[in-house]
Structures are given as C-alpha cells and as structure tokens.
Amino acid sequence: MTAAAAPVDAAALCADEVKRHDFPAYAATLFTDPPTRRALLALYAFAGEVATVRDHVSQPMPGEIRLQWWADALTGQGHGGVEGHPVAAELKRAIAAFDLPVGELTRIIEAWRIDLYDEPIPDLAALEAFVGDTSSALIALAARICSPHVEPPADLSRHAGLALGLAQVLTQLPRHAAQGRLYLPRDLLALNSVAAEEVFAGRTTPGLQAVVAYLAHEAEQHLAAVTAPPAALRPALLPLALARKTLARLRRVEFDPFRLAPPSRLSVLWTYWQAGS
C-alpha cells in the first residue's frame, strides 16, 4: 500500500518561494504581523509566478496558457486545480481576507503577456506604462494589505512602483541580456547609438551607460515624489530603501551596469533596519 503524500503547507511554500527568488520582498514582510505577512507572501509569490512565465517556456503559446490559467483562476472561471495549486489557494485566501480587487491582479497578469513575445519597448512612456501595470499595481495591492482600512494615495503607489520597477529593469539588465530580452526603450538606445546586439553580448559602451544613467535619474525623480508615506505602509515601501542605494550607483555615467552585484541578504536586512529606525 502506497503511503499518501503529505499535505502541502501552502503558506510555507509561498514563504519559501519568495525567500528564494525575491529576498528583498521576503525581508520586508518580516516587519509585519503574521496575518499581514501571510497575505503579502501570497501576493509576492503570485507576482513571481506570472513574472517568470517567460523563463519556463520556449514558445508564446504555453506562456499564454499559463497566464490565462491565472486569469481564469482569479475570476472563478478555472476548470479545476485551483485549490490544488498552493500559491493560487493562498492568493484566493488573501483576496477574501483583505478584499483585494481582482481587477488589479488581472492587470498584472495581462501586462506580462508582452514578455512572451520579446517585443521591444518603443519609448519611456511605454516602459513606464508596463512598470505601472506591474510594479505600481503590486505596491498598491501590498499597501492595501498593510493598511486595509485606509485607501493608499494613488500617486504614492504610482511613483513608488515606477521608482522600484525602473530600478529593477536596470538591475536585471545582465540577466535579461543573457536571455536575449531587452526592456530599455528603443528610442533611447537609438539616440545613444546602442545596438541591441551589443547589449545581448554584455558589452558596455558609453551610449549604454548614458541610457542607464538617464533611466536611473528618472527613477530617482519618482522616488523623490514618495514623501511622508503613512507609517502603516512601511512594509510595502521598504524595498525603496534598497532602490535608493542602487540608483545612486547606476546614475553615474561611468558605472558599468553589467558589474552590478546584487546586495547580500545581510545588506538587505541592515538597510531595512536603518530605514525603519
């Protein structure tokens, strides 16, 4: 007789997934109470699932199927299997507990469809639209979990998400380039005489450094607009403390973006501790 498989601890699985793939987000949840932390980890695990669909497929169609599964699961149109998916089950629990708007979650899913086709980003406006639909939407949802009885200011979520999202686009440049993916605006690359092939080859040129410095400056402008946020929203905004340190390096025109090392876990924790003190 075959022993039955042990039941999956969905909450623990979400925590492990976020801790492994997005330690800064995981560390930020340590500054919350257990119910809030559980919901945030479910949200971040979901965000990681949809953001990395492109990493697990070789053609757009399987990616479309995965993203559509998530969209159907959130709207109740799934054809079974939702309860058996630990991240989906935890997310549904968080939606119910904190009255999360499904439309915002669906907005994140839809935004990632562009990733399946390696479509170039034409200009800064298009990049900010993509970041707004992913990073800003995610911060708005996290803020809602952290402060369920107070609607966070829309401008705060927008600027915080753009600052963090643009910083992530720049810090992920080496990994994306190695995969043949490019999120830097095409018009900025052309203006600075940067060929996509140079970026994919991991070649740092003065033009690429200028593009990175310009986008880092834009991110800092959004960061500066996040002033005096409510204390309850601190866990949702803690990653901005890391972004601030990273952007200060990236906006130096002479900096090589391909030599940016990710912060250690100890550095992340220390930065958050300082930001919260």
**Got the DSSP string for 103-138?**
HHHHHHHHHGGGGGGTPPP-SHHHHHHHHIIIIIHH
Measuring CA to CA, which residue among 171, 191, 198 is closest to residue 258? 171
Q: Is pLDDT at 223 greater than 50 in this prediction?
A: yes
Is pLDDT above 50 for 224? yes
Please provide the average confidence, as pLDDT, over all residues in the chain. Answer: 92
**φ and ψ at residue 256, rounded to 5 degrees:** -90, 110
Q: What is the pLDDT of residue 6?
A: 45
pLDDT digits (tens, 9 = 90+) for 240-276: 999 999 999 999 989 999 999 899 999 999 999 998 7
Give pLDDT, residue 152: 77
Q: Taking a C-beta distance cutoff of 8 angstroms, is the pair 111, 134 a contact?
A: yes
Q: Where are the domains of the chain?
A: 10-117, 121-277
**What is the tens place of the pLDDT at every residue in 32-43?**
999 999 999 999
Cβ atoms of residues 169 and 131 within 8 Å? yes
At 7 the pLDDT is 54
Identify the band that residue 119 occupies on the pLDDT scale cut at 50, 70 and 90. confident
The pLDDT of residue 184: 97
What's the pLDDT at 79?
A: 55
pLDDT tens per residue across span 65-84: 999 999 999 988 655 556 67
Mean pLDDT of 48-60: 93
Tell me how far apart the alpha carbons of residues 152 and 99 are, in angstroms, rounded to a whole number: 14
Question: Mapping DSSP to helix (H, G, I), strand (E, B) and coil, where does residue 55 land?
Answer: helix
Instruction: Tell me which of 2-6, 48-52, 58-62, 212-216 is least confident.
Output: 2-6
pLDDT of residue 1: 37
Q: Give residue 196's pLDDT band: very low, low, confident or very high (50, 70, 90).
A: very high
- What pTM was computed for the model? 0.93
| Local structure of 61: helix, strand or coil | helix
The Cα 142–Cα 41 span in angstroms is: 10
Instruction: Please tell me the class of the 121-277 domain.
Output: mainly alpha
DSSP 216-232: HHHHHHHHHT--S--GG
Helix (H) or strand (E) holding 35: helix 34-51
Higher-scoring residue by pLDDT: 154, 196: 196
Question: What pLDDT is stored for residue 277 in this prediction?
Answer: 61
Q: Which of 109, 101, 43 is nearest to 71 (CA)?
A: 109
pLDDT of residue 265: 96
pLDDT exceeds cutoff 70 at 3: no
- The pLDDT value recorded for residue 190 is 97
Tokens in use for 28?
A: 């930020």
